[in-house]
Amino acid sequence: MWATAVGVARVRALETERENALFRDPLAQAFATAGGLWPSSPPLPDDEAARRRRLAVSFSIVIRTKFLDDLLQQASASGVRQVVLLGAGMDSRAFRMDWPAGTRLFEVDTAAPLDFKASVLRQERAVARCERITVAVDLREDWPGALAAAGHDPAVPTVWIAEGLLIYLPEDAVELLLARISAQSVAGSRMGLTLGSRGVIERFGADAEPGSAASMWVSEMPDDPVGWLAGHGWEADTHTLRERAAAYGRPISTPPQREERPGGLISAVRR
């Protein structure tokens, strides 16, 4: 599944080239090209519906990246110096964002993507702007133990990021992940999640190409995400892609096709 992370890097590389880019990710193109998926990708379905789906997914990746960048900057400004990226993939925030002195950033993922990423980082001579610690472990295993062994301190606040991850996990695995995060989060910890909005699997996954990212989506957000997170001890705000896109100067021109429910961009604080 980690090859989808290289696809996300491709989207970030294209955004980086825009004059009015919402973020700059100078490593994204290196991740995308090293993955062999760009520019010599196999031909994609070229029907209009498939093209629109690809554009919609790419747009959501750009908006969520900006949303979580802002959340991380706010957490840093509030004094949080521990960052954990769950399912880190080709995330390059350790290299492209400005971090306060003393920040420790943990990237948790399986060995294959971390090894691939390390080879690209060596090739690019990339230098992290904070203390970057990789933790090679499957999220279905005892990743809290591996994280603790790598130096994570649950006694001080952490900002947790699960970007483009939960939609691939069945509901029981999502619950377990959140319970484990909560067990290691003192008051003042922050969390940024992206959740599949209600109906997204029906709209995008039903006729997705086999092996594509959308074909592997299995879970959507609960009807009441704020209440769900409150039950785990978090005070959450939800944001729709549409409202965040408008706030970033990238308004969605088409009207909503249905009543918009709580959005899948989540920011939360541990109380």
Average per-residue pLDDT in the chain? 89
Task: Look at residue 271 in the predicted model and tell me its pLDDT.
Answer: 92
- The H or E element containing residue 256 is none
Contact 250/167 with Cβ under 8 angstroms? no
- The H or E element containing residue 36 is none
Pairing of strands 234-239, 190-194: unpaired
Q: For residue 211, is pLDDT > 80?
A: no
pLDDT (mean) for 17-27: 97
Domain 71-270 sits in CATH at 3.40.50.150
Q: What is the pLDDT of residues 122-180, one digit of tens each?
A: 999 999 999 999 999 999 999 999 999 999 999 999 999 999 999 888 889 999 999 99
Task: Look at residue 64 in the predicted model and tell me its pLDDT.
Answer: 97
Q: What is the pLDDT of residues 80-123, one digit of tens each?
A: 999 999 999 999 999 999 999 999 999 999 999 999 999 999 99
Task: Look at residue 47 in the predicted model and tell me its pLDDT.
Answer: 72
pTM of the model: 0.91
Q: Please tell me the total number of residues recorded for the chain in this structure.
A: 271
Beta strand segments in the chain, E: 82-86, 104-109, 131-136, 159-162, 190-194, 234-239, 265-270
Judged by average pLDDT, the poorest of 43-57, 169-183, 242-256 is 43-57
Instruction: Look up residue 264 and give its amino acid.
Output: G
- The H or E element containing residue 79 is none
Task: Look at residue 37 in the predicted model and tell me its pLDDT.
Answer: 47
Task: Look at residue 212 in the predicted model and tell me its pLDDT.
Answer: 72
Q: What is the pLDDT of residues 215-228, one digit of tens each?
A: 777 777 778 899 99
| Confidence class for position 40, pLDDT limits 50, 70, 90 | very low
Alpha carbon of 267 to those of 51, 82, 94, 195: distances in Å?
30, 16, 20, 11
Q: For residue 202, is pLDDT > 70?
A: no
Sheet architecture: strand order including 131-136 = 131-136, 104-109, 82-86, 159-162, 190-194, 265-270, 234-239
